[in-house]
Each structure stands twice: as structure tokens, then as C-alpha cells.
Structure 1
Amino acid sequence: MTIVDGELLLEVEDLHVEFRTEDGVANVLNGVGYHVRAGETVAVLGESGSGKSVTAQTIMGILDMPPAVVTEGSVRFHGEELLSATPARRAEIRGESMAMIFQDALSALNPVFTVGFQIEEQLRVRRGMNRREARQRAIELLELVKIPGAKQRVREYPHQFSGGMRQRAMIAMSLALDPELLIADEPTTALDVTVQAQIMDLLAEIQAERNMGLILITHDLAVVAEVADRIAVMYAGRIVEQADVAELFRAPGHPYTEALMRSLPRLDLKGQTLQTIKGLPPSLLDIPPGCPFHPRCERVQDKCRTERPEPLGLGFGRVSACHFAEEVVSRA
């Protein structure tokens, strides 16, 4: 399928997910919503446990068994509702049209099969290729992600690859069926800075060539500033701010985003103590009333403790779920 630049690929709307455990119901997602267009990079940012990966897994249809329960919302791909689609249809879309790079390549790859076999399998099943054709395509994909000696390395096992090479192999596997949308879940975790830069450059290059939509899940603000077009900031299972990357870095519109920005190391603050966000994210089994960020917020007022803020449009496509969003932006 030819993808038109700017074409709307994915729409996530008011998504709610619960984890029903022995300790109670954890409200993991609480009304998540964002969209992705062809050729666009949307970075989903937030602390661990904010719901970034759960949202991605729900989109992919790999989080559809207890204790996880989708209770409300919509996930549409090219306008087609995925949450009500049959398992067969979800499986058809997964890989063919949407693919995901998982956070830990060593865990995601099967240790008892060669890297080449794991890439070739989907080509034989989905594309009807014979073994020779699939092997040749696997070598081409490994070369695409700049793995040296691809003809030899296609026969090697995951443990024989370095961390950066395993991540490249995962990217090759995810690109095998030419997806229109790629979800990258912390693709540079546990890699050194040089390899991180190489992986991000590789993703940007492939995205530009194929005009893919890209969802980048991360907590690395430096990476976000370099590659993202838009940012969705998550806290306690909810999108608390969405904005164009330049606008958000210029003037955050939510106290949580503001606090994240202050925690960034800066050259002009050399010798000073790095600021942190006090306290801890709330337990999803017991999310505070009102704004879930209020126990940690330096701008908290009485209203924040009792009334949940609804998303407020601030112009230029920016939205913030804060009672005092306009004041936050104006003071930034």
C-alpha cells in the first residue's frame, strides 16, 4: 500500500485498561488518546509505570487476556476499529501493517533459533517465500540495518550478537513485512550512548525512506528533542500533555512536564545540584482523587486535590490536563 505523507494512520481514543489482580483493580490506563500520521514521529514520554508500554501492547493486540481487561475506548487503524476485530484480523494487521520493537531484544528473540530463521519464518508464512528466497531477504534486511557480514551472521544465534546488534536484528525483524506503523518501546535501553545514537539515526533513516509512522516510547528527553515531531506526556495512566516538540520544550503546559524538563542536565547549570521530582508516582491500585500529580506538584491548590482536570486546548494543537495550564505556559 502506498502511504500518503500526513495520512492519518492510528487513532487512540479514551482508552481504559484495568489489571484485575488479587490485590485489587489497578487502573493502568485512564482515558489515553493520541493519533499518528504517516511520516510522523510521536514520542510517548513518562516515568516507569505511567502506562506507555501497556498502551502500545493494547494497540498491537497482545494485551487481550486476563488479568488485563480493556474496559472502554477505541483504537482505529486507517479508520478500522481494532478492539472489536476478530483475533484473525488482529493477527493479519499485526506485523503486516503494524510492528513493534520490544525493549529487551535478548528476551524478545528466541535463544534456540538463529536470528536468520526468526526473520525468515514470517516471510515464509506471510509472503509464501521458499527457504532460499526468505534467506536472501533476511540477509538484505540485516544489511539494511547495517549489520556487518550479514551473510555469515544470519546463521548465528542471539547470544552471539552484542546488545546493539541484537537491537538492529529486532528492527530488521519488525521491518520484514513493510509495516506502515512502527512502535519502538525503549529501543535504546541498556545501550551505550554511541550505540543509542546509531540506533536512533537508523530508525530515522528507515522511517524517511518508507514514510512510516513511528511511536517512540521513552523516558529520555534528549532523544525526544532530537527525533520527535510531537510529544504525548503520560502520568498515572493518562495523557497529561500533548504538544509539538518545539512548543513543549519552549514552554511546558503541565507541572509534570515542567518538572521533567527541570530534571534535565544542562551545561549552563554546571556545578549545581540536579533537580528531581519529589515523591513517587502513585500506586495504580489507589490513584489519588483530583489530579493524580497533586501530591508531587509544586503548584498544587485546593481544587487540584478534589477535581480531576480535563484536557484544555491551549492553541497550536497543544492540550494540557491541568486546571492552571494557561498560567503554567505563561510562566515558563
Structure 2
Amino acid sequence: MAPLLEVEDLFVEFRTRDGVAKVLNGVTYHVNAGETLAVLGESGSGKSVTAQAIMGILDTPPAVVTGGEIRYHGENLLAVSDERRNDVRAEGIAIVFQDALSALNPVYTVGFQIEEQLRVRLGMSRRDARTRAVELLDLVRIPNAARRVRQYPHEFSGGMRQRAMIAMSLALDPEVLIADEPTTALDVTVQAQIMDLLKEIQVARQMGLILITHDLGVVAEVADRIAVMYAGRIVEHADAVSLYRNPGHPYTAALMDSLPRLDQKGSTLNTIRGLPPSLLDIPPGCPFHPRCEMAVSRCGTEVPGDHGLGFGRVSKCHFAEELVSRV
């Protein structure tokens, strides 16, 4: 079965007064129908920029796509007209932004913001659009939807606003949903509710779901496959079970080691030494080598290629096979 969405060898630069920031450096991943792909990495690794490139909402300038393809059902979205891109963005691929309060317009009711795209895209009457907006709010389990649809974003709690954003993104029944840090700033109970909701809707609609996050706990519960990003690159790509059981890249292993564990009660949490590199000046060779416990002189001069680890697993590390064989 062909993937719904494919990102292949994508390069993006931010051309700033301070220089050229190489934000994405050959990003490649795909998502299939009914599948959840989690994209992991520290802040600044390029997770959200990739999502914005897919949606075609990068600020240009300073952002410039310098190479690669983004294919939806095999069609390269970087080579189509703006009109076609708008059609795909509305009805094929949708996004849930991480800050619902900023994403929602404060001067319009939540219902109006859902109804607008139904009227514009589907030609619905105001009455039909209002009925559908109430149905969508019901779908995402917002109580008293018929009343809530007339309220403004500031009258919703954080979790309710996030649910409203999900309802808005589902209005045109997309095939691919990108959830960009959908549980940021929510308490643990609400996080679980939001993730359960996304999973339930995805299964019911057989959507492809791209979950962008840095929360390893959330990923373990919902992901089928995981792409780990560092300095604008996918450094490891594997199924969720294999990656958690046996990481194939030192960066992935370091992320796993930084998780709190019950058997480490009273001890200091493990951390990754140093800081992520400046994208204005990415180190030569492997970009992770200044922070890597396994680094040798080769790592500072030679960019690692893809090392296949079997069953579709890929790692960009000179010592990937050695790392996996330790367990």
C-alpha cells in the first residue's frame, strides 16, 4: 500500500541577518493510512518546521525550501499551484497547533471558526454549518456543545480549546492529521484524554497521524513508528517497540536514559551533556558528536549515512550495529 504522505530529502533554510540557518537537512519520512508516526526530538530539532513545510505555511522569507519533495498520494506538493495546495491543505492534510489559544481567533466564536471553512469549502448554509459544528464539538466530547458553539476561545479551558482545535481540523475529514505538541501546557489527566481522543478518531477514520512531541511517555502509548530528529536530520527511524527496547542511535539512547525510573529513586536524573548545536553553525561530521559518549575522531569529520538495522530500522550512526548488539 502506497503511503498517504511522503517527505523525501527535504531541505529548508532560514536566511537571516546573522546568516543562513540550515533548519532541515535531508528529512525523510512517510505515514500510511491508519498509522501513527511520532516525530521526537529536542526543541529546535526541526519537528515543527517540517510540519509547516508540509502544510505550506512557512514564512517566506526568511524560510526557503531548497530541496526535496513532499508527496501526497504521490503528488509533489512543492510543484503544484497555490490553488491546488490550498485544496490539499484544507481537505487532505490538517494540523492541530500546539498553542490553541494563539491559533484560535479571539474575536470570533469557536462555532464561527469551525463553520467558516464548512461554508467556504463545502458550500454549506449557515444553518447546516452550525449543525455540523455542534456535531464536531460533540465528537471531541465537549459538553453542552449546542451552547459552547456560541462561546469565545477565552471562555474555554485549555483542554477544551485543544479539543475545539481538533474539531476544527477534522471538519473537512482529512486523510492526514498533524498534531504538533497537542498536549503542551495541559495537566497529565487532560493530556491522556486528548491522546485517547486522537487515537479513537484516527482508528475510526483510518487517518494517518503524525504526532510531533518531545514527550517520550506519550509516544510509548500511541506510536506505531518513531522518527527521531536532531539538528534538522532524522537520526533514527524504527518501529516503536524496537526503538524503546533497543535504541540504534546514541542520541535516542541518551533520550531514553534521561527518563525518570522507579529504580532510580533518590538519585540524580541522567542528562545529555552540552547543548544542541546552532543551526547557523552545525558541526562537521555527525552533528551529535560533541555531545556523544561514543564519539571518535571519525565522527567529527565524516557524516554518517543510513545504516539498516533490519525490519525497516535505519540509524545515522557509524556505530549503529555495535550499539544495537549490546543488548
In the superposition, the TM-score normalised over structure 1's length comes to 0.98
Residue 14 of structure 2 corresponds to residue 43 of structure 1? no
1:253 equivalent in structure 2: 248
2:18 equivalent in structure 1: 23
Judge conservation of contact 1:58–1:64 (CA < 8 Å) in 2.
Answer: no
1:161 equivalent in structure 2: 156
Task: Provide the alpha-carbon RMSD of the alignment.
Answer: 0.7
Please report how far the alpha carbon of residue 331 of structure 1 lies from its aligned counterpart in structure 2 after TM superposition. 1.6
Letter aligned with residue 164 of structure 1? G
2:114 equivalent in structure 1: 119
Please report how far the alpha carbon of residue 272 of structure 1 lies from its aligned counterpart in structure 2 after TM superposition. 1.6
2:188 equivalent in structure 1: 193
2:58 and 2:101 map into 1 onto residues whose CA distance is 21
Q: For 1:269-308, list aligned pairs within 5 A.
A: 269-308=264-303
Please report how far the alpha carbon of residue 267 of structure 1 lies from its aligned counterpart in structure 2 after TM superposition. 1.2
2:233 and 2:66 map into 1 onto residues whose CA distance is 15
1:110 equivalent in structure 2: 105
2:263 equivalent in structure 1: 268
Please report how far the alpha carbon of residue 194 of structure 1 lies from its aligned counterpart in structure 2 after TM superposition. 0.1
Please report how far the alpha carbon of residue 64 of structure 1 lies from its aligned counterpart in structure 2 after TM superposition. 5.7
Give aligned-pair identity as a percent: 78
1:192 and 1:250 map into 2 onto residues whose CA distance is 27
Counterpart among 177, 183, 205 of residue 182 in structure 1: 177
Letter aligned with residue 279 of structure 2? L
2:202 equivalent in structure 1: 207
Letter aligned with residue 8 of structure 2? E
Residue 51 of structure 2 corresponds to residue 56 of structure 1? yes
Residue 210 of structure 2 corresponds to residue 229 of structure 1? no
1:191 and 1:308 map into 2 onto residues whose CA distance is 39
Please report how far the alpha carbon of residue 330 of structure 1 lies from its aligned counterpart in structure 2 after TM superposition. 1.2
Please report how far the alpha carbon of residue 157 of structure 1 lies from its aligned counterpart in structure 2 after TM superposition. 0.2
1:258 and 1:125 map into 2 onto residues whose CA distance is 48
2:260 and 2:207 map into 1 onto residues whose CA distance is 32
Aligned length: 327
> Helix, strand or coil: the match of 1:69?
strand
2:151 and 2:98 map into 1 onto residues whose CA distance is 21
Letter aligned with residue 159 of structure 2? G
1:144 and 1:232 map into 2 onto residues whose CA distance is 30
Please report how far the alpha carbon of residue 155 of structure 1 lies from its aligned counterpart in structure 2 after TM superposition. 0.2
> Helix, strand or coil: the match of 2:211?
strand
Please report how far the alpha carbon of residue 7 of structure 1 lies from its aligned counterpart in structure 2 after TM superposition. 4.7
Please report how far the alpha carbon of residue 74 of structure 1 lies from its aligned counterpart in structure 2 after TM superposition. 0.6
1:3 equivalent in structure 2: none
1:113-157 deviation digits (Å, cap 9, x = unpaired): 000000000000001100000000000000000000000000000
Judge conservation of contact 1:207–1:214 (CA < 8 Å) in 2.
Answer: yes
Residue 214 of structure 2 corresponds to residue 219 of structure 1? yes
1:138-197 deviation digits (Å, cap 9, x = unpaired): 000000000000000000000000000000000000000000000000000000000000
> Helix, strand or coil: the match of 1:111?
coil
| Gap runs ≥5 in structure 1 | 1-5
Counterpart among 170, 177, 181 of residue 165 in structure 2: 170
